[in-house]
Amino acid sequence: MLKKFAWLAALVAALCLPSGGGVPLSAAPALATIKDIRMWHAPERSRIVFDMDRPAEFAVFPLKSPPRVVIDLSHARIPSELPAAGASGQFIHRIRRGTRAENTARLVFDLKKPVRYRIQQLDPSDLYQYRLVVDFYPRDAVAKTPASTPATPTPRADKTELVILIDPGHGGEDPGAGGRRTKEKTVVLQIAKKLQARLNRKAGLRARLTRRGDYYISLRKRTHIARQRQADLFISIHADAFRDPRARGASVYALSQRGASSEAAKWLANRENSADLIGGVNLADEDALLAEVLLDLSMSKTISESISFGRDVLSELKKIGRVHAKQVGRAGFAVLKSPDIPSILIETAYITNPAEEKQLMSPAHQNRIASAVGAGVERYLAKNRSRYAIR
């Protein structure tokens, strides 16, 4: 009997060892490796993203004299290459690495000045593996999306010019759709800047951008900017994508509260609305504003104006090339949910179509798109002179 138990104990012990013998498998957890470090710098924020192959527990604390922020990552390793000093934006002087204890990696951010910061670890998305995201803000800023405190615009009677807010889609770590040679976030910013220049040549119009560089802005903050800047019209610029590279043509969309006008519009809205998940926004924080917007009694009239505005822009886009849909599409685009600002979303072309991608990269064709959209804006305003009269 004793021999039988001895044999059984030996068998159990053997099963608990790796094939080469030695330490049990459960005793040495795999290290999380930082595969890449990416940085995005907006006027009011710097974002540092650490791409990792697996999640890691972390602890963070600030230090003074000189100001620093320290992050300790358990069971993690950091690559030898870190961003060079001076390349880390307005808040960070340099990033250093070290080892606090065995298998605990340390990141030290030497700061140019005291800051506020926010750190979050994001699960894998369609584009990325695990990410540790570090945001730095000015010390007097609140480190959260200002969606819960929407700006209230000044009454229109006080305005001396019409404000057209142009929103280049995506940005920063959210590249949007990708073609063979370029990314959506790049070409739509180029088109948006050309449209801004085109509109600003018209007396009485002031065109402004939600972003001027390659950085991420949440969808809800884009609508907040529109209200804060007292926008009269809102135009979100995008480039479409589809699994079939033969898909082509421009499209114009307005908001729908009762479902999408087509399955394609529904699919597109879901894809565009997922940008905040890539950017690491806690969508639960947006519920209060979303409820306020959807309950606003002026929303139905604003949507009607948006459709009219979209028709005029679509008519002008038809003059420069093929359109994917002959009518203004409708779906629940989060970026179009300003309750009192006519808002449209333009898919300028299919970046997944090689011929249209080539056009999107052409400055000459970008100018044609900007001219067509600008003509659509002027056409809509001319039809609604009484509504948009300025002092």
pLDDT band at 86 (very low <50, low <70, confident <90, very high): low
Report the pLDDT value the prediction gives residue 141, as an integer from 0 to 100: 64
Q: What does the pLDDT read at residue 121?
A: 92
Q: H helices of 318-349, where?
A: none
The overall average pLDDT reported for the chain is: 83
Residue 293 token pair: 């917007």
Phi-psi region of 370 (alpha: psi -120 to 50; beta: other; left: phi over 0): alpha
Encoded tokens for 305: 């104006």
The whole-number pLDDT of residue 339 equals 83
Reduced to 3 states, what is the DSSP secondary structure of residue 174? strand
| Residue 298 confidence (pLDDT) | 56
Record the pTM: 0.81
Tokens in use for 224?
């907040």
pLDDT at 127: 86
Degrees to nearest 5, angle at CA 381 with 375 and 383: 105
Interatomic CA distance for residues 164 and 166, integer angstroms: 6
- Give the angle 80-83-84 at the CA atoms, nearest 5°: 105
- Residue 314, C-beta contacts closer than 8 angstroms, at least 6 positions apart: 250, 252, 323, 327, 328, 376
What confidence tens digit (pLDDT) does each residue in 345-375 have? 999 999 999 999 999 999 999 999 999 999 9
**Selection from 372, 302, 369, 371 nearest residue 337 by Cα:** 302
pLDDT digits (tens, 9 = 90+) for 235-269: 999 999 999 999 999 999 999 877 676 777 777 77
> Mind listing the pLDDT tens digit for each residue in 170-227?
999 999 999 999 999 999 999 999 999 999 999 999 999 999 999 999 998 999 999 9
Name the nearest CA neighbour of 350 among 233, 225, 264. 264
Measured CA distances, 35 to 38, 51, 78 (Å): 10, 5, 8
Contact 214, 327 (CB under 8 A): no
Distance (Å, whole) CA 281 – CA 238: 20
Q: What gap in Å lies between CA 293 and CA 98, rounded to an integer? A: 48
Could you tell me how far CA 75 lies from the centroid of its own chain? 30
Contact 89, 135 (CB under 8 A): no
| pLDDT band at residue 5 using 50, 70 and 90 as cut-offs | very low
Cis, peptide link before residue 62, omega less than 30° from 0:
no
Asked if 77 and 57 touch (Cβ cutoff 8 Å), the reply is no
**Percentage of residues of the chain with pLDDT beyond 90:** 57
Distance (Å, whole) CA 315 – CA 348? 13
Q: Which two tokens mark 279?
A: 């950017």
Cα–Cα distances (Å) from 124 to 1, 67, 198, 335, in that order, read: 53, 32, 40, 24
pLDDT of 129: 92
Contact 376, 319 (CB under 8 A): no
CA-derived radius of gyration, the chain: 26
**Residue found by looking up tokens 């894998």 in the block:** 124
Q: 280: phi > 0 → left, psi -120 to 50 → alpha, else beta; which?
A: left
Q: Are the C-beta atoms of 70 and 60 separated by less than 8 Å? A: yes
pLDDT tens, position by position, 21-72: 444 445 556 889 998 888 889 988 999 999 999 999 999 999 998 999 999 9
> Contact, 250 vs 360, CB < 8 A?
no
